Structure formats: C-alpha cells, structure tokens
Amino acid sequence: MSNEFNMPLLGDKLEQLKVQTTHGPMTLPDDMEGSWFVLFSHPADFTPVCTTEFVGFQKRKDQFDELGVKLIGLSIDQVFSHIKWEEWIKENLGVQIEFPIIAGNDTIANKLGMIHPGKGTATVRAVFIIDPKGHVRTILYYPPEIGRNMDEIVRVVKALQISDKNGVAMPANWPENELIKDKVIIPPATSVKDAKKRLEEHDCYDWWFCHKSLK
C-alpha cells in the first residue's frame, strides 16, 4: 500500500491551514498576508538538534525582523509540550523563544509533505519561505540527523527580496560569488537588438551573461 504524499510546489499558493499555536489560533497564510514568513518543521520537542535550531532561529530573529520576515515553527507535538520546551530553553539556555510554534497533526504534516515514511513518523526538517501574497518561494528539506544552516535561510530571503524588487537573478553563493562577487545577474536578452545593447551598457562575459552592481 502506497503512502499518500503531498506538498506545495514552488509558486503555489500555500493551502489554507487552521492551526493551534503557542500564540493562539492562526490561519495560514491569511494571518500573514502582506508579510514574508518562514514556516519550518522539526521532528520533536526536547531533542538536541531541534533545540540548537530553535536557538539559532531566535538568535537571528532581529535579522528576520529587519527583512520584514516572521518565523513560525511546527511539529506534531501538542501546545503544552511546546510551552514546556520553551520554558526549558529559557531556564537552561537563557534564550526566550518569541515566535509561535504550531501544534501540528498528521493532516497538516501530510498537506505540507513534512512526513517522509523512510525517515519515521515524525516531521522532517522542512522549510517553506512564503511571500507576502502567500506563495511558496523556496522549499528546503533536511533529514532529522542534520541541523539546518540558519544563515542560509536569511541569505535566501534577502536574495528573493532583491530579485523581486530589481528584476534580477542571484549568482551562486551570493553575495560572495567566485566570479562576480556581490553583483547580480541581468536576465538574458530576448532579441538581437537587446543582446547588443546589453553588451554596450553592462559588464558581460557574453550577451547572455551580464551583471551589474546594485550599489
């Protein structure tokens, strides 16, 4: 018997989810309309890797705030477990978790593709970056045994926002790309005239690979 597996795809509108959280009931993405947000799942409360991740997210909350990005955690643990775990983190690690944590269930986890049967019955480490219109812009999956890189999530949000605002593409390892440093890539020309113009107006390796500084 096959296991049903669903997940949103890039560009999809996030399916409406009515959830219970440590900050009260919420409806996603409706309650986040007009704001970027990062929805991320963890396998379980009171586990070492997840604890380091939550501390990592909280430590970077100011960076997310500056970008206008809200954080929302999720696991299939219930609210009372989340609350107790938050208390433990504050009492033992000196970090106050300020973002809501969803008390998930199999229905929510399956809608988001967060349960991978080959990795057990807990939610894997999924990350969904959602834009202000509720569309899924980035999806990242990590196995339970590997913690996420929080700085990469911050980097992706910054890159998405700059790309949207300026109509450009971002190179690998931006803003420390091996070829063009912190410059951005101009979309390829779509006509002979535009190709020639690009070569005259921008720094290019060729007409299809032009770049510029945003400064």
Name the catalytic one among 17, 32, 38, 50: 50
Q: Which of helix, strand or coil describes residue 184?
A: strand
Q: What's the CA gap between 118 and 120, in Å, rounded?
A: 6
Contacts of residue 88, Cβ cutoff 8 Å, sequence gap at least 6: 46
Q: What's the CA gap between 67 and 36, in Å, rounded?
A: 8
Mark whether 50 is an active-site residue. yes
Q: Are strands 136-142 and 36-41 parallel, antiparallel or unpaired?
A: unpaired
How many Cα atoms within 13 Å fall on the side-chain side of residue 33?
4
Tokens read off for 205: 């390796």
Q: What's the CA gap between 121 and 172, in Å, rounded?
A: 34
**Which of the residues are catalytic?**
50
